[in-house]
Chain A
């Protein structure tokens, strides 16, 4: 008896609570643009991984007898000034772009989250020093700072990734710090401390999961921007070095041939950049809505899940 006959007694649930990530995914796919973005990205990743199998030619296969040929059945995207197959090079270029994007954003995600966590959680002087350092990094134009870093380290694929990773760190640090500042003051954090939780437990169990949503969104948007930055650096000749095919580098090579009518050399790598960045942005926007519980209820109430 006693409290068991309360009107408040909750009815025992028959089905287990649905996992949150499942809810998030279904909300994400309810957004058609985001779903399209996910599909395109999946195709891109697949073709980058399987470039060796899918590509009709190796990216270094030159054939000077078939220079600057327009698109045809043998060369879907035409050939470049050395007779290399543009389609194959775009496929291999996807590998470089996605790799640079993933590794560079990975670096900035880890560094930025760490700095943001320490800054926001510790506060005081630690916060002031770390955030002012981030402000300094942030005040440089992204490409300019990346150029400076690559110039110091010498241009290569690895250094491009490091440069972009460093340049993007402040973005993550700020996003994380801002969220940590609000989560830190939550009553449930105090409740956890009152049970005897250590700082480490509070950060890993309560703070990190509660700042994850904005970080996930920032990651997908930063991927797009990192790929653009890589293309810009390669276009300027200080990113990925030939003969490795990168979209930015292909644009650089194609530049001299736009006026003479060899449009396929620039259009296809350009389109590849556009499609990749656009789908990443669509997924990012979709995630932003899907991870926001209020938006999610709106999506679900439309009955589109």
Chain B
């Protein structure tokens, strides 16, 4: 097996809030391991506030990680100098959730796309630059002539296409897709997903696809990692996860997906989680999910579960139901 394109080990992002005596640490991401091969898609799923977006930002160093290692095609990303980091960003792009906020309202969309070319000195020269911008727009299903228009003249779906065109400008190998369809109308979502799928197969892109529900990622992902409160709680190959989810949290997420068949939909059994997500400032001891877990038992308070192999190779879950693997909580 060849070395993966992206390897993330023990990624940790802590933020400080408050000052002086009130200073507290928000453990947004608390030791996340991820592996992604070239041309593959890894889904990263979890509720709002579980740290999935922060994970994506930290991998690209748009948020500085507190600890951990990020290796991209043999490069230690955290070790890059500011200058080398800017150069490296040519290979890793990002598509943002809110297409209304991610384009500078004062730049014609062609300029927003052209900026990427200018930064990395690609396709320079008036003719070549314009041709490349047109090609990118066309690739994303827009007419090349719209390059001179401003973002407010476009719909959400069109803007997201422009955002995708911008991400593609420097021919990256890897794109972090931060809920790229969550802000779009349902009718547009499928179109954008199809576009992303086509681009992947044509250009051999690797995606880290962030989403807040499992329904959104079920068609595009090769592997899926489920996050809860700054940790990965289960990771598996797509079908393995959908067929035999091992972590109670994953099962709850799966049970929330509506089934497009009225008979089976009526029989669908929903696992309702009670309570809110605990604060990442003061996560529960032991298993972080124990405060909402329907299958909680006494060991959950004592042991902080580690990922262990369950239901076959390549399928890991951090749950004590599968064996008390993890670190004992002190005191």
Contact = CB atoms under 8 A, between A and B. Distances in A.
Interface of A: 2-4, 6, 8-13, 16-17, 20, 186-188, 190-198, 201, 205-206, 209-210, 293
B108 interface: yes
B104 A188 contact: yes
Interface string B142-153: 110110111011
Contact of B148 (A16, A194, A210): A16
Interface string B49-86: 00000000100101000000000000000000000011
B143 A191 contact: no
Contact of B150 (A9, A17, A196): A17
A194 B88 CA distance: 10
Contact of B90 (A9, A196, A209): A196
17 contacts: A2-B198, A6-B141, A8-B141, A8-B155, A9-B142, A10-B143, A10-B146, A10-B158, A20-B106, A20-B150, A187-B102, A194-B93, A195-B93, A195-B170, A196-B85, A205-B104, A293-B152
Given A3-B195, A194-B60, A188 B103 contact: yes
A13 to B, nearest CB: 6
B104 A192 contact: yes
Interface of B: 57, 60, 62, 85-90, 93-94, 96, 98, 101-108, 112, 115-116, 119-120, 140-143, 145-146, 148-150, 152-155, 157-158, 161, 163, 166, 169-170, 188, 191, 194-195, 198
Nearest to A2: B198
B101 A17 contact: no
A197 B96 CA distance: 16
B154 A210 contact: no
B120 A196 contact: yes
B94 A194 contact: yes
Contacts of A16: 148
A191 B102 contact: yes
Contacts of B90: 196
B104 A206 contact: yes
A243 B194 CA distance: 78
A197 B143 contact: no
A17 B115 contact: no
Contacts of B170: 195-196
A17 B191 contact: no
B158 A209 contact: no
Closest CB pairs A-B (n = 5): A3-B141, A196-B89, A187-B101, A196-B86, A194-B94
B108 A17 contact: yes
Contacts of B145: 12-13
A197 B62 contact: no
Nearest to A9: B141
Contacts of B116: 195-196
B277 to A, nearest CB: 24
Contacts of A205: 104, 107, 115
Contacts of B154: 10
B153 A17 contact: yes
B158 A8 contact: yes
A187 B86 CA distance: 18
A190 B143 contact: no
A210 B103 CA distance: 12
B4 to A, nearest CB: 21
B141 A191 contact: no
Contacts of A206: 104, 107
A210 B169 CA distance: 24
Contacts of B89: 194-196
Given A3-B198, A191-B94, A210-B106, A197 B119 contact: yes
B87 A210 contact: no
Contacts of A201: 115, 119
A210 B194 contact: no
Contacts of A188: 101-105, 112
Nearest to B94: A194
A250 to B, nearest CB: 44
Given A3-B194, A13-B148, 13 more contacts: A2-B194, A3-B191, A17-B153, A188-B102, A188-B103, A195-B93, A195-B116, A195-B166, A195-B170, A196-B88, A201-B119, A209-B104, A210-B104
Nearest to A186: B101
Contacts of A191: 94, 96, 102-103, 163, 166
A197 B118 CA distance: 9
A186 B60 CA distance: 17
Contact of B115 (A2, A12, A186, A195): A195
Nearest to A199: B82
A16 B146 CA distance: 9
A193 B195 contact: no
Contacts of B194: 2-3
Contacts of A209: 104, 106-107
A6 B187 CA distance: 11
A8 B99 CA distance: 15
A195 B115 CA distance: 8
Given A191-B163, A191-B166, A195-B119, A8 B104 contact: no
B194 to A, nearest CB: 7
B142 A10 contact: yes
A205 B108 CA distance: 12
A192 B85 CA distance: 14
Interface centre among A8, A12, A17, A195 (most CB of B within 10 A): A195
A197 B153 CA distance: 25
A205 B191 CA distance: 32
Contacts of B96: 187, 190-191
Nearest to B92: A194
Contact of B157 (A8, A190, A194): A8
A194 B166 CA distance: 11
